[in-house]
A and B are shown apart, each in its own frame.
Chain A
């Protein structure tokens, strides 16, 4: 099957869906073919992948001390 070429702009629109496995097999094949020949889009793909990893591993909101106890008390007092 011949893979139809795709522009960088089209790749950018789908790059996040590509990482999430949310593109159909045809689009995936077109994008994979594009990444093989386009260093810019590959850099954006890798960068975006890193963002997902960094945000997943590194973002954590510190819960205020005593949060659970106060929540429990609120429920109890209800």
Chain B
């Protein structure tokens, strides 16, 4: 850094609120948390995929952030820090509940170095925006998301839904920026493969069957 003093990343309002919280103002803490609520819940959902569990974890994460706020140095945005705590809490819950024991074991075996080949090249360049409102597309998106291994889903949600930067995503998940990029590629390709059956026109006609469209 070229300047002599370290420059915190948070804006004035954020730092003022933090100061007030550290002086015992709980309302200020709620003002700080309020804009991050959805992000915290979504981050928890990306791992737990259950609204009740995600709410429980969101509450735990927020209370943990409250207790630890005096240690927050503004090296990242408050929201990124809070999401990082949420991710850790969600992972703890998974471990505690042992719900995903087998998935976790399988995931460790996944070879991230190997190349992922897109399954087909169905050409679905243009998707009219009105299809987004279609219930079946939203459901298909949710199914496709649910089919991803957690480590891909969490990266995809933080990057493409919450629009965290690669660096923020790496920080929140405790992984390298290189891993974020690799997992994001896998996640996007797998989403594309999972969604491709519906993008050949069956969203419009309500057809259940998918005829593969291949350009060769």
CB pair B26 A59 closer than 8 Å: no
Please tell me if B115 contacts chain A, counting CB pairs below 8 Å. yes
Question: For window 132-153 of chain B, which residues contact chain A by CB distance below 8 Å?
Answer: 132, 137-138, 141-142, 145
Question: For window 5-54 of chain A, which residues contact chain B by CB distance below 8 Å?
Answer: 9, 12-13, 15-17, 20, 22, 39-40, 43-44, 46-48, 50-54
CB pair B122 A75 closer than 8 Å: no
Residue interface bits B55-71, CB-to-A below 8 A is 1, else 0: 10011001100100000
CB pair A64 B185 closer than 8 Å: no
In-complex Cβ contact of B63 among A54, A55, A64, A78 (8 A):
A78
Question: For window 181-199 of chain B, which residues contact chain A by CB distance below 8 Å?
Answer: 181, 184-185, 188-189, 191-192, 195-196, 199
Residue interface bits A57-73, CB-to-B below 8 A is 1, else 0: 11111111001101110
Query: Smallest CB-CB separation from A64: which chain B residue?
Result: B51
In-complex Cβ contact of B37 among A59, A62, A63, A74 (8 A):
A63
Chain B residues with CB below 8 A from A20, complex form: 166, 181, 184
Chain A residues with CB below 8 A from B6, complex form: none
Please tell me if A76 contacts chain B, counting CB pairs below 8 Å. yes
| Stretch touching chain A among B75-83, B101-109, B155-163 | B155-163
Interface of B is mostly: helix
With contacts defined as CB atoms under 8 Å apart, how many contacts are there between chain A and chain B in the complex? 129
Cα A18 to Cα B181 in complex, Å, equals: 11
CB pair A43 B161 closer than 8 Å: no
In-complex Cβ contact of A55 among B33, B37, B160, B189 (8 A):
B160
Query: Smallest CB-CB separation from B191: which chain A residue?
Result: A51
Chain A residues with CB below 8 A from B54, complex form: 61
CB pair B118 A71 closer than 8 Å: no
Given A17-B181, A46-B125, A67-B37, decide whether A61 and B55 contact each other with a Cβ distance below 8 A: no
Cα A26 to Cα B53 in complex, Å, equals: 46
CB pair A59 B62 closer than 8 Å: no
Given A55-B191, A68-B37, decide whether A17 and B185 contact each other with a Cβ distance below 8 A: yes
Interface of A is mostly: helix
CB pair A61 B118 closer than 8 Å: no
Chain A residues with CB below 8 A from B184, complex form: 16, 20
Chain A residues with CB below 8 A from B52, complex form: 64
Please tell me if B45 contacts chain A, counting CB pairs below 8 Å. yes
In-complex Cβ contact of B163 among A43, A51, A56, A76 (8 A):
A56
Residues of B within 8 A of A (CB): 26, 29-30, 33-34, 37-38, 41-42, 45, 51-52, 54-55, 58-59, 62-63, 66, 115-118, 121-125, 127, 129, 132, 137-138, 141-142, 145, 156-157, 160-161, 163, 166, 181, 184-185, 188-189, 191-192, 195-196, 199, 215-216
Q: Kindly list the 4 A-B residue pairs having the minimum CB-CB distance in the complex, ordered from nearest.
A: A16-B185, A46-B125, A43-B123, A55-B160
